[in-house]
Structure 1
Amino acid sequence: ESSLDLTGYDPEQYQDEIDRVLAQNLRIVTLTEFRQEDADADYKVWELEREVCPDMPWTDPISIPEFDIYKKHVLAHPKFNPDSWFLVLDGNHITGLNNLWKSEIEKGINTGLTGVRRKYRRKGIATALKHTCLTWARNQDYEWIRTDNVDTNTDMLSINTRVGFKFMPAWLVYEKII
């Protein structure tokens, strides 16, 4: 787990990284905005997650449920806020996603999935999405943000370190199979 103190985060310092993505004829929108443009927005987000999650290193394989279940468990979750879900679009095609989830601890927010389709990787999209989320969180008066990564997810750990996340003490999770 890593944390970033948003009170010291300066969005202006990172605007160039966002501008580089926008210069590729891509655009960054919230899920709320995309829903207004595209009646299939939720389905397209689900499709993106189904594509990118198998590539993500994690302690247990990540599987995305069927769309009807996804809608109930993710899009109808009490901590879900479509204004804190950011998408990079190429036309009407989602290339990447980064989302935030309300925290149970006051003044804080948690990151969720950061994922980019294979064809669009290594173009700065994940970093631009991170900065967009951090800027949004800071503008909403959150004081800190947390993220979870496994140590084998070196690409995301590198992005998080460059952005300013600091490692927190590690957690050990044990599972007893009976």
Structure 2
Amino acid sequence: MTDHWVKLELDVTAFDASRFEGHLERCRDAGIRLTTLADLGDGPRQRRALYELNKECSADIPDRGAFYTFDEYLAHRIDVPSYDPRGVVIALDGDDWCGLSATSDWRSHGFAFNEMTGVRAAYRGRGISLAMKTFGMGFAGLCGVDRVRTIHHPANTGAIAMNRRLGYADADWD
């Protein structure tokens, strides 16, 4: 694993969602619906589907290593104080889960944290990631924070570029 991660932070008060409305519209026009895990129901079946989607999308993260088992995933990502199903955006093609953008509630530290954004390979290149992140930006407001942070392996250039396009800037935090 690298010891030099790319740390990014977005000032939500300066975020202009209107710049990305086209991505939201293209998703709708293509039959892709964006919703949250809270709206879908945060039950065992939905958590299993979230796990499977996250596992598949995480395989493309450089140096990711083995993904959690389902029980580890629940322990590290769901059964934690920062988890809130309102912060988990799901992209749906009919009933098929094709993308996720999971942001956790770190309001006690003054920010929300985008843990993972991923789209299944067959759906990439359609602006779904940008649409999900734009759709989910309201979660920071629900948390009462004006900053969203994320972190990337330096070889994950596509994700870094997407976040910078949204307005994330390099940050230095411990």
TM-score by length of 1: 0.85
Q: Give the whole-Å Cα distance in 2 for the aligned partners of 1:88 and 1:62.
A: 25
Match of 2:56 in 1: 51
Q: Give the whole-Å Cα distance in 1 for the aligned partners of 2:91 and 2:59.
A: 20
Match of 1:8 in 2: 14
Superposed counterparts of 1:1-178, under 5 Å: 1-35=7-41, 40-57=45-62, 60-103=63-106, 105-138=108-141, 140-169=143-172
- Judge which range, 78-87 or 10-19, deviates more: 10-19
* Aligned residue identity for 1:158: A
Structure 1 stretches of at least 4 aligned residues deviating more than 3 Å after TM superposition: 104-107, 138-141
Higher Rg: 1
What's the offset of the Cα at 1:105? 4.8
Q: 1:39 to 1:169 in 2, by over 3 A?
A: closer
Q: Give the whole-Å Cα distance in 1 for the aligned partners of 2:97 and 2:65.
A: 20
Q: Give the whole-Å Cα distance in 2 for the aligned partners of 1:143 and 1:73.
A: 25
Q: Which ranges of structure 1 fall in alignment gaps of 5 or more residues?
A: 172-178
Conserved 8 A contact 1:2-1:147: yes
Q: Deviations over 1:25-70 (max 9, x none)?
A: 010010111227x86211111111121111112xx42432222332
Identity %: 26
Q: Deviations over 1:54-104 (max 9, x none)?
A: 1112xx424322223322332111110001100001111110000111226
The Cα RMSD (Å) is 2.1
Conserved 8 A contact 1:32-1:83: yes
Conserved 8 A contact 1:53-1:62: no
SS at match of 2:113: strand
Q: 1:9 to 1:104 in 2, by over 3 A?
A: closer
SS at match of 1:61: coil
TM-score by length of 2: 0.87
Q: Give the whole-Å Cα distance in 1 for the aligned partners of 2:88 and 2:120.
A: 16
Q: Which ranges of structure 2 fall in alignment gaps of 5 or more residues?
A: 1-6
